[in-house]
Chain A
Amino acid sequence: MKMKYLILASALFATLVSAVDAKLKVVATLPDLASLAREIGGDKIDVSAMAKPTEDPHFVDARPSFVVQLRDADVLIDGGAELEIGWLPPLLQNARNSKIEIGKPGRVQASQGVRLMNVPGNVTRAAGDVHALGNPHFMTDPIIAKTVALHIAQAFSAIDAPNASAYDANYKKFEATINAKLQEWGTAMLPFKGQNVVAYHDSWVYFAHRFSLNIDTFLEPKPGIPPSPSHLAEVIEKMKAQKIKAIIVEPFHDRKIAEKVASSTGAKVVDFAQYPGALPNTDTYVKLIDALVARLSAAMK
C-alpha cells in the first residue's frame, strides 16, 4: 500500500516538475536529427536520440525504455523514409501518445520536402535491403539538412508558440552557418570533383551529389548483403582501373574487409559516419560534415 502511494506521489511530482520547467520534450530516432533539434531548440528543449551514433540505424533494438521516451515526448522527429521501419512501428504502438501521430504538429518526418534519390522503379528484395521510398540517408547533404531544420523549427514554433522567435532565430543562424560552411566545404572538395570513391554501404548518395563525387561502388554486393570474395575481387579490379583512392566505412562496418581491399589497391580507408558523435569531436552536425570533408579530402590528395 505504501509502495502504491509512493508511486503515485512520485508520478505527481514528476508531472509537477515537468510543468514547472516546461521544456519541450523532443525525441529523435537518429542522432543527426537530434543534433538539428538541438541547434533549433537550444535550451528551450530536452532532446534525446534513440539510435546510437555508432550503430547500424536499420537495426536498433526496440528497447522498452524507448516506449517511455516516446510516451513522454512532445515532439518526435523521424526520418520518414522507412529507415527505422524495423523498430519504430512497435514502439509507437506501445507508446500510446497521440501527440506524435503522423499528421499531428508533434510529428516531424524529416523526409518531407526532400526529393529522395534512388527510388527503385521495381521494388524487389532480390536486390537486397531496398527502400521503396528511395535512399533514406539524406541528411549527409547540408542543403537537405537546412530543409529538415526548417521543418523542425516550424514544429517547435507550432507547439511552443511563446518561444517561436527563438526557434526562428536559431533556424536563421543555422541556415547562415550552413550557407557559409558550404563555401568552405565546397572549396575543399572542389579539386576532387567527378572522382570515384568506394563505400561499404550505399549511404552516401546525397553527400556525393552535393560535392560532385561518384560514390557508386560498394563493398557490399547489394545493400545489406555482406561482401563476398568474388564481389570484392571485382571491386579491387575496378579500383585499380579507376585509380580510386578512398574507401569510406562507417563505425559498424567490418573495417578489416575494407583494409584488405585497401592494401591490395593502395587506397586509404577513411572512417566516415552519418551521425554526429560517431567520430571524435563531431558532437554537432556542422562539426560532423567538417570532419567528413577534412578526412575525405586528406585521403584523396
Chain B
Amino acid sequence: MRNLIYGALACCAITGAFAQAAEPDASPPAASTPASTAEVEALRQEVQSLKEMVRTLQQQMKEQPPATTEKNNSNAPTLPQNPEPQTADTSSQPAPSPNAPPLFPTSDTAVVASSPPVNANGTSLFPTTDESVTTTPATVSSSDTGSSLTQPIPITGGGNKNYMNISFDSVFALASSSDRHLDRLEVGDHDPQQRGFNARNAEIALDGAVDPYFEGFANIVLKLDNNNQTQIELEEAFLQTTTLPFGLQVKAGQFFDAFGRINATHPHTWDFADSPLVNGRLLGPDGLRGVGAQISWTLPVPWYSQAIFAVQNGRGGTAYSFRNPGDNGVFYDRMTIDRDASALHDMLFVPRFENSFNPSDTQTVLFGASGAFGANDTGPNAHTQIYGADFLYKWKSPRAEGGFPFVKWQTEAMYRRFEAGRGLDNLFPVDETFRDWGMYSQVLWGFKKGWVVGIRGDYLHMQPSAFTQDDTRQSRSRISANLTWYPTEFSKIRLQYNHDFLEENEFLASRNADSVFLQFEFILGAHGAHKF
C-alpha cells in the first residue's frame, strides 16, 4: 500500500515537474515538440532545480534519523517543499486529446486522477526522474505535445550519419620453409608465396544500405606478388535484397560461392595462415567465385535451415575446375579451349543446403552439403562436378569474456569428378576422368581471452594419371599447428608450423617440407561483425 502511495505521489511530482518544463512561462505551450532554444533553456533550469532539490534532500536525509525515512513522507514536515509542483495544478494536466492515437491511453487515469492534489507534500525522498539521463517520459505520454506515441523520441542512440562502412584489413606473413618453392607448396593465392615477407591480402571492404530495398558490399583486394608488383582483384561486389517476403534473399554481382565453410570467407577471418589443401586444389587458389546471381531461402521450420542456389558464369581462374583456360592456355597439361557459354549447361550451378541446431545453451552445430556443377575447358563436352560436406561444432563458455574460452571443430570434405578432355584440336592423346577427393579437419581452442591454439590435418587424394606430371595433381597430406594472439579484435599475431608430406617429383624435390609462418594483421575502420 505504501508503495502505491509513494508511486502515486512520485508520479504527481513527475507530471507536475514536466508540465512546468514543457510550458515555460515565456514560450507558447504548443511549440514543445521541436525543441526551441527557450525550451532547452527551460529544461536546463529544470534540471538545475531538480539537482538542487536532490542535493537538499540528500542533505536532509543525512541529518534525519533513518526511522524518519520509513514514514509516509506526507507526514514529514521537515522536508523541503518542492517548488515546482506548486506551480502546476491539476488544470494544467494535459487533457486527453481526441487526436491522440487510441492505442495507448494517454491520460494518467490509473495514477494521476485518483491521486491527491499535486501540491501535497508529494516529494520523493529520492528522485525518481532525472532529466540529465533521459528525456522525460512525460514528454512522450502527454497528449498536448501533439507527438504520436509511437514516434521515436528525438534523442536517438543510433542516429549517426552512416551511408557506408569502410574498412581496411591487411594481412602479412613472414615465412620460412625447408622447401625453396613455397609458391608451389602453398595452394592458396593469399597464402605465403615466398621465403621472407609476404603481403598477399590487403583488402578494402565497403558495405552499407543502398536504399530501402538493397544492401551493397564490395571487397577490393590488393596484393603484392613475389616481385613486389601490386595486383588488384575485385574480389566481391554485389547487392543483396533486404525486403523479399517468405524468407527469400537474392544476391547479384561478383561474389564468393556458398560452398562449404571456408570458401565464402575472406583470408583474414581464417583460423590458419593458409588455405586447406582441398580448397586450393579442388575449388582453386582464389576460391570459387564469379559473376552471377544467387537466391537463398530460409525454410519455415523451427530450426535454422537454409537452401541456397547460385548461377555464375563459371569462367576464368576463379572458377578453377570449370571453364578455366589455365595458365598460358594450359590446364592439367591440356591446351584449353577458352569457350563462351554455348548453352545453359555451360554455366556454373552451385546449390547448398545447411542446417543448424543447438544441442545445449553453450553448443552449436551446423551441417552443410554443397555442390558445384559446370563445364570445363579441357574439351568441348567436358564437365566437372564437385560435391562437398561440412560440419561445424562450437562450444562457448556461458561466462565468456570477449568470446573466450571456446572450442571450435570444423571439418570439410570434397569429392570432384573432372572430365579431362583431349584439349584444343584433340591434341592430348587421351581423355580421362579424374576422381579426386580430400578433406581437412581443424580444432581451435580459445583457452584464454585473446589466445587461441589450433591444430589442423589436411589430406588430398588426386587420382594418378599416366599422362600428366602436373604438380597440382599430386596427392599429399599436411599437419599444421598454430598459436594466435588477438590483442583486440582488430589485430592479431599468429605463429604457425606446417609439416607437409609430399611425393617426390620434378617440382618438389624432397619428401617432406617444414614451414613456419609468422602472420600479422590489422583492421582499420568499421567494426567487423563476426559471422558464425
Contact = CB atoms under 8 A, between A and B. Distances in A.
Given A62-B532, A125-B488, A71 B247 contact: yes
Given A56-B402, A61-B403, A164-B105, A180 B126 contact: no
Given A56-B401, A64-B532, A176 B11 contact: yes
A187 interface: yes
A103 to B, nearest CB: 8
Contacts of B358: 63, 65
A143 B165 CA distance: 34
B247 A96 contact: yes
A252 B399 contact: yes
Given A90-B529, A224-B488, A55 B400 contact: yes
Given A115-B133, A187-B69, A193-B58, A102 B158 contact: yes
Interface string A159-198: 0010011011100100111111011011100100100000
Interface size class of A (residues with CB under 8 A): 35 or more
Contacts of A155: 150
Given A143-B133, A157-B149, A226-B450, A96 B244 contact: yes
A24 interface: no
A282 interface: no
Given A80-B157, A224-B402, A154 B137 contact: no
B532 A63 contact: yes
Most A CB within 10 A of own CB, among B8, B243, B301, B403: B403
A67 B527 contact: no
A274 B296 CA distance: 38
A245 B128 CA distance: 28
A63 B190 CA distance: 28
A188 to B, nearest CB: 10
Interface in B1-45: 2-4, 6-8, 10-11
A176 B125 contact: no
Interface string A112-149: 11111100000001001100111000100101101100
A143 B130 contact: yes
B364 A96 contact: no
B491 to A, nearest CB: 10
Contact of A132 (B160, B400, B488): B160
Interface string B393-417: 0101111111100000000000000
Interface stretch (A9-17, A235-243, A259-267): A9-17
B156 A182 contact: no
B129 interface: yes
Contacts of B244: 96
A157 B104 contact: yes
Interface size class of B (residues with CB under 8 A): 35 or more
A68 B531 CA distance: 15
A110 B105 CA distance: 21
A224 B105 CA distance: 44
Contacts of A79: 157
A64 to B, nearest CB: 4
B333 to A, nearest CB: 43
A96 B127 CA distance: 43
Contacts of A129: 488
B134 A113 contact: yes
A209 B133 contact: yes
Contact of B124 (A65, A134, A183, A225): A183
B134 A144 contact: yes
B104 A62 contact: no
Given A93-B240, A167-B104, A190-B58, A154 B7 contact: no
Contacts of A190: 58, 61-62
B304 interface: yes
Contacts of A154: 104, 140, 149-150
B249 interface: yes
B467 interface: no
A53 B354 CA distance: 29
Nearest to B400: A55
A172 B109 CA distance: 10
Contacts of A134: 157
A180 B298 contact: no
A183 B403 contact: no
A187 B66 contact: yes
Nearest to A209: B133
A186 B158 contact: no
A143 to B, nearest CB: 5
A281 B187 CA distance: 55
B11 A179 contact: yes
Nearest to B131: A115
B155 A158 contact: no
A146 B139 CA distance: 13
Given A65-B304, A179-B11, 18 more contacts: A7-B299, A11-B300, A14-B301, A61-B530, A63-B532, A71-B298, A94-B249, A96-B298, A115-B132, A128-B488, A129-B488, A133-B160, A141-B130, A153-B104, A158-B150, A167-B104, A182-B128, A183-B125
Enumerate the 6 nearest inter-chain pairs by beta-carbon distance, A residue then B residue, closest first. Answer: A111-B157, A176-B7, A186-B126, A64-B304, A64-B356, A113-B153
5 contacts: A114-B133, A115-B132, A134-B157, A157-B103, A183-B69
Interface of A: 7, 10-11, 14-15, 52, 54-56, 58-59, 61-65, 67-68, 71, 79-82, 85-90, 93-94, 96, 98, 101-102, 105, 109-117, 125, 128-129, 132-134, 138, 141, 143-144, 146-147, 150-151, 153-155, 157-158, 161, 164-165, 167-169, 172, 175-180, 182-183, 185-187, 190, 193, 206, 209-210, 212, 224-226, 251-254
